[in-house]
Structure 1
Amino acid sequence: MLVRRAYIPDALRPRTPDERDAWPFTVPCVAELAAKGLTFDRPLTFLVGENGSGKSTLVEAIAEGFGLDARGGRAGRKYGNARPKTPLGEVLRLETTTAGARMLAGPRTKKKGFFLRAETAFGLMEAVSGMRGYWDEDTTRMSHGEGFFTVFDTMFRERGLYVMDEPEAALSFTSCLRLVALMHQLSQTGAQVVCATHSPILAATPDADIIEVGEHGYRRTKWEELELVDHWRRYLDNPASYLRHIADS
């Protein structure tokens, strides 16, 4: 474990009504984090929720707190032009373990980790393919899923913090299972993974801590109790029960 908790210090919390009514503090999970922080109890954590629930906002800020570019990339490096941190990233802080503190306090070359963000991953791959410290393969000649796994296989190896935002976007069922195996292996080696996902396959990774994000804020839950899992079970068992509402509209 490298990070124990994400929080906003008292001095940086929104205090006035105008501050509390400004994005992202109007998002329930961000408001709850501002009030009490978010702890990490296991090496592998999944944030699961609907679009707009705030899970991507959380993982972006966690990545920034560890020195990762919010657009994606490896620790200690940035690609493209520098830009300000996200609003939550500006105020969020990480409480680290001894190992995490040592890594962050060391030179840039000692920082280990990677942020894979689905919506910017292809631009990142095009920008850094062939650069020293990344991968040699030409990902522009690969399918999206193959490109993602080039990143995973090359960059997700050492003890570090690996943050992912919807990595399943380019992956098939079989590739999702490969990623499950990789994340589980990483979590057994001293690395830490924080992943926002819509995938019931990824969320089923053994020994993971699952946090469901929504209008309630966030809460820890079991895989079989996720609303996402319930919907997928119902749909696969009887697609017509969902599709008839679409066809009739």
Structure 2
Amino acid sequence: PDFLSWSHGEGFIRFFEERCRRQGIYILDEPESALSPTRQIELIRMLRRMDLSGTAQVIMATHSPLLMACPGARLFRISRFGLDPTDFHDTDHFRMMRSFCNDPDGFLAEALYEDEA
């Protein structure tokens, strides 16, 4: 397939769909950079199918709370002490997105105020 004929996100999804049928270990580095939230959900569905098939393992670096919440995912935070197990609810990225979703205007007003201070 000509993956370059689609948008960045669509090309990524199609590429991954084609490749994820194979047995293996997949290493993804911030796949959310190419994906809208809707496409991230598509990726989660694919990852779930891979997990249920038992034929593949995925190692992923991500800042996306959506991808961190993938069912069955084991999350590790990289710190100066090594790899620390964590839950996506405990990540700064989830907390920030939750704050924004709970009060977008207040969140942005505070963020802009901090920038001016």
TM-score bracket for this pair, using the shorter chain length: 0.7 to 0.9
Residue 73 of structure 2 aligns with an amino acid whose one-letter code is A
Corresponding residue number in structure 1 for 2:49: 185
Name the SS of the counterpart of 1:188 in structure 2.
helix
Name the CA shift for 1:233/1:215 in 2 (closer, same or farther; >3 Å): farther
1:168 correspondence with 2:37 = no
Larger Rg: 1
Name the SS of the counterpart of 2:60 in structure 1.
strand
Q: Give the number of equivalent residue pairs.
A: 112
Gaps of 5+ in 1: 1-135
State how far apart, in whole Å, the 1-side matches of 2:67 and 2:24 are: 20
Q: How does 1:123-134 map to 2 (within 5 A)?
A: none
State how far apart, in whole Å, the 2-side matches of 1:241 and 1:161 are: 42
TM-score, L = length of structure 1 = 0.43
Deviation at 1:215, TM superposition (A): 3.4
Name the SS of the counterpart of 1:193 in structure 2.
strand
Q: How does 1:15-26 map to 2 (within 5 A)?
A: none
State how far apart, in whole Å, the 1-side matches of 2:39 and 2:95 are: 22
Q: How does 1:50-89 map to 2 (within 5 A)?
A: none
Name the SS of the counterpart of 1:140 in structure 2.
helix
In terms of fraction of residues, the more helix-rich structure is: 2
1:226 correspondence with 2:91 = yes
Query: What stretches of structure 1 move > 4 A for 4+ residues in a row?
Result: none
| Larger relative contact order (Cα-Cα within 8 Å, sequence gap ≥ 6) | 1
State how far apart, in whole Å, the 1-side matches of 2:85 and 2:99 are: 22
Contact 2:29–2:60 (CA<8 Å) still a contact in 1?
A: yes
TM-score, L = length of structure 2 = 0.86
